[in-house]
Structure 1
Amino acid sequence: MVLTAPSQQRAWRRGVAWHRVAEGVLVYALAFAAGQVIFLGWGGEQWRPLAHAYWQFLFVAWAGMRLGLAGTAGLLCLVAVQAGWGTLQRQGFFAQDLQASGGLGYGAYIVILSIVGMALAFYLDMLRRQRADVRIAAIAFECQEGLLITDARGVILRANRSFLAMSGYAAHEVLGRTPHFLRAARSAQQEASDGPPPWPARQRQEWHRRKSGERYPVWFTCTPAMDSRGVVTHHVLTLTDISDWRRQKAQRRQREQAHRAALVREVHHRIKNNLQGVTGLLQTLGQRHPVLRDPITEVTGQVQSIAVLHGLQGRSRTDQVRLCELVQEVAAGVGALWGVAIAVQLPEDAGAGGLSCRIQPADAVPLALIVHELLLNAVKHGGRQHQDVQVTLNAREEPQQACLVVSNPGQWPESSSDAQVGLELVATLMPRLGASLALEQAGERAVARLCLQAPVLLPGGTDAAPESSRLAHEGAAA
């Protein structure tokens, strides 16, 4: 029964060595034989000189050292039964105990034997558990993550092999120093002035520097170790190299950005096709109803301007459109609808000012309609009659600024009239920031000057740098 204790049963299920079972059987057999001789008088008078109860201390000690708590308790029960039976039968070592002391000697013997055996077994069991814990801790310390053990002041006491391989340092170059020297972009004076580790954040991302000078990102985790009074005695620092993780994250975001850009281009392309279908229907309606041709043509031009914008966005890698392209396409559309040759003049330097500026996506549709209304106003009030509408896109001296100048033969009226009623839509669509409109009279020509700047306009290289380039430089700042 003792040999089938839970610990022994688990051992059997794991296929433990049978020599321990054989040892237990041997201890119990020898203790039983000795108990028969000592307490029940086996062997007669020839064994009487050796029949002393202290021999059982040897077997109990043997069981305490080799069989554990369960095995020792079982052996004590066996000895107690044998000695008790011999006492009742008035045989063996305690034959006279009942008559002399009322069984006190037997009781004292069993108590002393139990204390010695169980104390020894308990102490050795705790010692084995501690050794097992130390062995497990040593195995866990040599894990794939970099580990540092520091004292309460932050001085490194131990470093595992993974950390040494990751950082490139040898053990003697790390022990006795504080972990601050590992962080990148730190001077020798800063390292010398480092005191006890503040470590306000238990987990954070840091940039460290290898012994070779290479910078690399790590995920830093600090776990304090406390004693029974709650006082921090050590710190366990976990350092994980996340270079591969960041690279994979950047690649995944780059793929997602490319997929999103493809979907956006497809959406813009389909919107453009649908709007072109609407303009075709409007033109057909205008041909059927000549009386409504002019207002229908105006609406057609507005829809066509939005279609032009979506067409440009469908061709771009992002939803940002170049200002010069938008002006050219809208001017070509208005000229084709009203039969007017609109002259568009752009800066000679293709990389200057307005030619390289991009339009903020949120302001693209309103700006397309504003350009359309300015051109339509010029066409209807002098440009169509004289076949003279001029559009100039000038780059300002300031960066990210451009002026669109639309002129036609004619005069701006002094008071509100039909010419200015057409500009009410322009005033409604004007962005609150980054755009201004001025109406001027230059001799015999009416001039509308639309000046744009940030935030309506973006730098020319805004969409030239792909998402992966931005992600690659995320770690430039430590």
Structure 2
Amino acid sequence: MAAHMSPFHYDAWFDLVPLALIEFNEHGRVLRANSALSATLGYATPAGTHLADCPPAMQRLCGWDAPLTLLTLGPEDPPLHAHVIQPRHQGSAAKLCSQVWAQAESDSSQPTRFLCAIKEHSVQAEDVEATAHITSDADAAPVPEMGQLLHELSTILESTPAGIAYLRNGRLVRCNQRFERMLGLMPGSIVGQGIVALEGLDPRIDQLISEVSASIRTQGHYESEIELSKPGELARWYALSVRLIGPGPQPSETIAVLTDITHTRSQQAQLEALGRDRNLQADRMRAILDSVFVGIVTLDDRGIAWMNQSARRMFAGNLSDFLGHPLSTVATPDLDHPFRLTDYLDDLRDGQSHTFECQVVGRDGRVFWVVGNAVVTYGEANQRHVTYALLDIDRRREAEAQSAEAQATLQRIIEMAPMAIHLVDARNLHLIQANQTAAEFMAVDLHTAIGQPPEVLYGPERGKLLRADMQAALNEAHMVHREYKVPSKTNGHLVWDVNYLPLVGDDDNTDQLLIVATDVTAQRAAEQARLEAAIAQREMLVREVHHRIKNNLQGVAGLLQQIAARKPEVAPAIAEVVGQVQAIAQVYGLQVGSGGPLRLRSVVDAIASSVQRTFGRTISVLVDGAHVDDWQLPEAESIPIALSLNELLTNALKHGPGSTPIQCTVQANDTAVRINIRNPGYLKEGFSVDRVPGGVSGLGLVRALLPRRSARLTVTQDGAYVLTSVDLAPPGIKLAPPQQTQAQHESTGRQTTLWPQ
């Protein structure tokens, strides 16, 4: 019958099997028994009966006489075998043999079930003799309470976490499953064998058996810790305890107990490692503390316990010189010295510190200042320890004194400086600090100015302007330069050169704004005087140059006229050239007396006069418009327009027969200027000024000279007259700005006129 036999689902089938069958669970409770079993045993075993209440023969056949072995039986294990001699009628006997299987359970939470099959065999004489100790149910019937006790003890042994084995005369009689698992054995494989069966499992077990045997013979017990390894698993540690029980000089009965102490050993190893790490950490910490520049001193209830290298150098001694001494040994004679009066330590809790500053005397006699912290900690048994961290601040105090002296010197320099220096809060632009010169810039009393905003210091309008400049400097995060012209009650105006410099604090945020203002009134006046002198000198030189150019051009015109007189054949051509030279000379002549761009009306009058003198014929110049005198010619356009007017007037005189005066009219408004030249005559049929080819004289020259982007030439027939018009517009001409006071020269920054409060 297979060990993985499934449960019987039908009682009818179970009863029909001719083989005696009984099914029970791990608690010894009978689940069912068939009729063949009752016929074989001669009595019935109803469901619900406990095996402990059954006859000894029944218990042996079911394996209940050795519950530890039975409970280790698994579904995959071979069946347990047992046999008993059962008496029959008329003195005969029968040999009953049994096999017990453990059944596989789908639900691990349910008790394990066992199936026992019993067969009857003929009895041989040796069978009766071998099993003479139980020949019937009557001669060895146990007390029911003993069976229950055996069951309870077996349950306790199997549930204990320790491995327990009972040995008699060196043979393993019983053991729980955990004992076998600890040794890496199959359940039930060692029961009934001698202790020598354990040899060969592990060399350490062989040595252990020898040690146990010797100790049991001499002392009656053995205690040890062993390490065992199972194939494919990590080694585990066990505590082994073997004790002799019962009387007698020879070890007849012994109990062996194995306890898994792997976790304990692991924890112990971890604690040992932590202890080693703690010692390493302490050494490392002391090495680190020896490398810092702060003096570290530790005190216990006896005095100084340890100090680092910095403290030893500070106190000018070795550790042995200070061990056990109070810290006051390096204190000055002051009675209230922090090393001498330590009442402040009594109020400190664990981890709290107290900061102090005092003088210390080294063993070399050097007296110096230190700043320190005293930290209180509590160790084992609530023992208090005090650790002092000391920093030599002698140099810092010297530096502070030097800094204070430098600060005072700087403050004196600031007060005596001719510059207005004041400091402003970057958040609200309120005045923080200012020197006496700044009071002149603000025009307020310095004692009442501190803490005031710009609107109070400078007045509403001026304060609004300065606030905008301050905010611009803060927003741009770099220095901003401005120049202001402030009305003065005595000197007209004062010019202040001002720099705004944002100051960045330790947190990289701008927290203050430095304002430095310098009175540059005299400097600007000197610069203006130098500028005006330079401009006057330049204008004088330009006028001189223009005058000389005009004279030279007139000299050239005279030479050309002499050539024309000697050579009449070229006189007409030379006359045109002379007119052009005279026109250019007129422009330079006008520039001699001008301080800027030429007025258009002056150029027209000059050119008309020159042409009139050349040809001896009257030219009538008329002007019309409110802005006729305000239009100017840029320097680059003056000569081309002058030559164009010369050609047009000359052309009108040539083609206007008779002695009728030539009319030249200048019409102006606020956007453009039109010059009309009117002379008697007629244009050719189909004449167009756009078809006039370019040349060096006449309309061709005019078309070439007039600026195309700002000038337009038209020639039309107006009755018996020819009307020539020239339209001029910006940028070929420009309208002169209204007369105004010349602005003061700005050399640096931006100059703003500030009004009085």
Give the structure-2-normalised TM-score: 0.43
SS in 1 for 2:523: helix
Q: Which residue of 2 aligns with 1:359?
A: 633
SS in 2 for 1:158: strand
2:435 maps to a residue whose letter is N
Aligned length: 364
Q: Which of 399, 407, 411 is residue 126 of structure 1 equivalent to?
A: 399
CA distance in 2, matches of 1:275, 1:453: 29
2:432 maps to a residue whose letter is L
**Structure 1: segments with no counterpart, 5+ residues:** 1-53, 59-108
> Superposed, which structure 2 residues align to 1:41-440 within 5 Å?
111-116=363-368, 122=395, 125-142=398-415, 143-153=417-427, 154-179=429-454, 186=461, 198-200=474-476, 201-207=478-484, 217-228=495-506, 230-318=508-596, 320-339=597-616, 341-347=617-623, 352-381=626-655, 383=656, 385-396=657-668, 398-399=669-670, 401-415=672-686, 420=692, 422-440=698-716
Q: Which residue of 1 aligns with 2:237?
A: none
CA distance in 2, matches of 1:355, 1:208: 35
- Which deviates more, 363-372 or 241-250? 241-250
1:235-265 deviation line (CA, Å, top 9, x unaligned): 3221223333333333332222211111111
CA distance in 2, matches of 1:432, 1:392: 22
1:57-80 deviation line (CA, Å, top 9, x unaligned): 99xxxxxxxxxxxxxxxxxxxxxx
8 A contact 2:442–2:458 mirrored in 1: no
Structure 1 residue 402: deviation in Å?
Answer: 2.8
CA distance in 1, matches of 2:485, 2:532: 26
Identity %: 25
CA distance in 2, matches of 1:181, 1:429: 63
2:676 maps to a residue whose letter is V
Structure whose residues are more often strand by fraction: 2
- Which deviates more, 282-291 or 219-228? 219-228
CA distance in 1, matches of 2:752, 2:501: 28
Structure whose residues are more often helix by fraction: 1
CA distance in 2, matches of 1:131, 1:120: 16
- Which deviates more, 171-180 or 369-378? 171-180
**Relative contact order: is structure 1 or structure 2 higher (C-alpha 8 Å, sep ≥ 6)?**
1
Structure 1 residues 138 and 476, CA gap change in structure 2 (3 angstroms): closer
2:665 maps to a residue whose letter is L
8 A contact 1:312–1:321 mirrored in 2: yes
CA distance in 2, matches of 1:127, 1:195: 33
Structure 1 residues 129 and 347, CA gap change in structure 2 (3 angstroms): same
1:440-470 deviation line (CA, Å, top 9, x unaligned): 21111111012223323333567x66xx713
**Aligned-residue RMSD, C-alpha:** 3.9
Q: Which residue of 2 aligns with 1:459?
A: 735
Give the structure-1-normalised TM-score: 0.65
Structure 1 residues 270 and 242, CA gap change in structure 2 (3 angstroms): same
8 A contact 1:389–1:406 mirrored in 2: no
**Structure 2: segments with no counterpart, 5+ residues:** 1-328, 334-360, 371-391
Structure 1 residues 317 and 225, CA gap change in structure 2 (3 angstroms): closer
CA distance in 2, matches of 1:194, 1:436: 49
SS in 1 for 2:531: helix
1:34-69 deviation line (CA, Å, top 9, x unaligned): xxxxxxxxxxxxxxxxxxxx9xx99xxxxxxxxxxx
1:298-343 deviation line (CA, Å, top 9, x unaligned): 011011100111001112122x22222222222222222233x132
2:430 maps to a residue whose letter is V
